[in-house]
Chains A and B, each alone.
Chain A
Amino acid sequence: MVSKAASETLTEAAPPPAADGKYLDSNVSGAAKILVVGPLGVGKTTLIGTVSEIRPLSTEASMTRAGARVDPYAGDSGKKTTTVGLDFGRLTIDGDLVLYLFGTPGQQRFLPAWQDLAKGSLGALALVDARDLTASFDALGNLEDLDLPFAVAVNVFPTGPRYDADDVRTALDLLPDTPLVICDARDRASSIRALIALARHLIDLATESS
């Protein structure tokens, strides 16, 4: 190890690296995460990009052997792991707390990839395409299996028919206290409102249980 004196010869303390928003403000003292779940093409990445203060980043989660059991494609080639793409974004709120939004694919076979992410997350926003409600069943089922509290946001597509929120609620067989909001993932305020509905729901659950 080089002695401290070496770094002290540098002129002044180096300013915190700004690097055009890559790094968090040094005041940030904690992080929380929320999952954004739903089927392919429902608008997860759009919503994350709308809300995020950074350009959404993409990474992949590996599914381990636990996933191979439910993944019909993993058994073929002797592959031990397979990967699933994940997009995420972040939002610094109140100056010292950073919220991460992770977009997770809803299909049943991706469940193992979720479990790691679901651990420690506050809850989930389940995005639903009203034109294809059945595509969301797996995602909603996974949330229930993981016992992760969630709110449902019906993403409005310009070409899609308008659905009555109560009809969607009935079709998805949601619990009466599960929030359901209509949102436009391309609109920041609309997407933030969907997250607010989730946050309110989480507070309700937390105050009930205490």
Chain B
Amino acid sequence: MTERPEAPRVSAIRPYVITRGRSESEGEPLSWESLVMTAETAFPAALQPEHLAILEHCEGLISVGEVAAHLGQPPSVTQVLLSDLLRWGLIVTRPPIPPAERTDVTMLRKVLHGLESCL
């Protein structure tokens, strides 16, 4: 059988159970403040318990960091599991403000006005 060196870690058993798992998401990792929510599709029956646990915490709009805290798992683990779910179409994401827009004055003014209205 032909070797496929470009995908050596994809196997039937995916040991992402925290310590021995993949340490990086496939593709761009979700940031801590990325907002996620379960997609309106039925879940496959064969999901890993860790994935199911995440889906239970994503019934409404919530950030990656909050999901990690509710799960009691490090965000790095949560990010990997969430990127699986995203790839499988089981969650949807609202992208955070990208770093390139750090100097987006409109958004900063929005933050300022929002904070001022909290007083």
Contact = CB atoms under 8 A, between A and B. Distances in A.
Interface of A: 1-2, 6-7, 16-19, 22-26, 28-33, 54, 57-62, 64, 83, 88, 90-91, 93-94, 97-100, 102, 116-117, 119-120, 122, 188-189, 192-193, 195-196, 199-200, 202-203, 205-207, 209-210
B25 interface: no
Interface residues of B, number: 45
Secondary structure class of chain A's binding surface, majority of residues: mixed
Contacts of A203: 105, 108-109, 112
B60 A93 contact: no
Interface of B: 23, 31-35, 40-42, 44, 59-63, 65-66, 68-70, 74-76, 94, 96-99, 102-105, 107-119
Contact of B112 (A22, A100, A196): A196
Given A33-B96, A94-B113, 12 more contacts: A7-B40, A16-B60, A24-B60, A24-B61, A24-B63, A26-B60, A30-B35, A31-B33, A93-B118, A97-B114, A202-B111, A203-B109
Shortest 4 CB-CB contacts between residues of A and residues of B? A23-B60, A93-B114, A2-B42, A57-B69
